[in-house]
Amino acid sequence: MPLILPQGYKPLLNKYETEQGIKLIKEFFQDNLSTGLHLRRVTGPLFVQSGLGINDDLSGKERPVRFPIKCMGDAMAEVVHSLAKWKRLTLGEFNVKPGYGIYTDMNAIRADEDLDNLHSLYVDQWDWEQTITAEQRTLEYLKKVVKNIYYAMRRTEFLICERFPQLQPSLVEKVTFVHSEELLQRWPDKTPHEREDLIAREHGSVFIVGIGAPLSNGVPHDMRAPDYDDYTTLNSDGYQGLNGDLIVWNEVLGRSFEISSMGIRVDKAALLRQLAESHQQERLELYFHQRLMADTLPLSIGGGIGQSRLCMLYLKKAHIGEIQASIWPEPMREECRKAGIPII
């Protein structure tokens, strides 16, 4: 995406206030998230061993940052993209019962990221996972969890606006649910991102269901790796997919703004189906996939919630570089300087 430079932009908080706001948001939101979803905090890894199928493959094209481990005969490790599959292994190791789960601070490096207002080489998010029963693998349960997350977001927004009166709340009262196929039927001549802009502007906050499976035009709304979210099971609305993205309208940037990607995870049937459809059956030889096929992993629902993204939204920032320290191309830094955007 091209860099967005809001006309007449001026930060509402100075750098010291911004750091105070970041601390307050991160502490308060994670407490509300853990209470709402019955989650306990665990310590997550920065890197995992290569070749086990544990790392998140995102859309399947992004290259992980790799390095050799001297004391293990130069076996390769890779910096995580997210902890989508590691969390499910951890649920099994902790024997977490249905209705309860875990969350962790996930820090990642995504070297292939296209840098803009929202995307950085450094990714920080709350990765969470909850054990569920077979009967809870439904769209209704997914919606219930999304609503709980959204309530935590609204409570956090109220707190931060009370602490800094120059900030005004922007989140609408309720989140609207819509399937990606419905967006295609409504705006067939638009790109997926343009559809997201249109629906987010209209409703304020939306959860787009069904990310990963081909739509009626033969093209997915967005790509997903085939081995964590269940995007092919028929849901109660007659569409494929038990996953989706939580998106809000960002007033500062004038565009849709993804806060979270989440979903009910694959069971054995969905894993086999999605690996076959994506022609990646060789993954069944990997450690994670063998554990799943052997019924040694619990059924679960999970996702990631962007920490810097939430802070951007609440603190009315125009660039993620105002929230986190990272590396940016010098031409981007210069453009931001001229536009009054103070990149860290």
260 is annotated as an active-site residue: no
CB 253 within 8 A of CB 216: no
CB 145 within 8 A of CB 262: yes
- How distant, in Å, are the alpha carbons of 5, 48, 100, 257, 316 from that of 171? 22, 37, 27, 12, 12
237 is annotated as an active-site residue: no
258 is annotated as an active-site residue: yes
Active-site option among 34, 78, 82, 110: 110
287 Cβ contact partners less than 8 Å away, ≥ 6 residues apart: 52, 53, 54
125 is annotated as an active-site residue: yes
CB 100 within 8 A of CB 130: yes
Active-site option among 78, 113, 227, 245: 245
**Structure-token match 């500062």, residue found:** 252
Active-site option among 120, 180, 240, 261: 261
**What is d(CA 65, CA 220) in angstroms, rounded to the nearest whole number?**
27
Query: Side chain identity at 268, as an amino acid letter?
Result: K
295-325 residues labelled b (16+ CB within 10 A) or e (exposed): eebbbbbbbbbbbbbbbbbbbbbbbbbbbbe
Residue 61: burial class (beta carbons within 10 Å; 0-12, 13-18, 19+): exposed
Active-site option among 17, 31, 251, 258: 258
229 is annotated as an active-site residue: no
Rg (CA), the chain: 20
227 is annotated as an active-site residue: no
Active-site option among 125, 180, 205, 260: 125
Active-site option among 34, 56, 57, 130: 56
Q: Annotated catalytic sites, by residue?
A: 56, 110, 125, 245, 258, 261
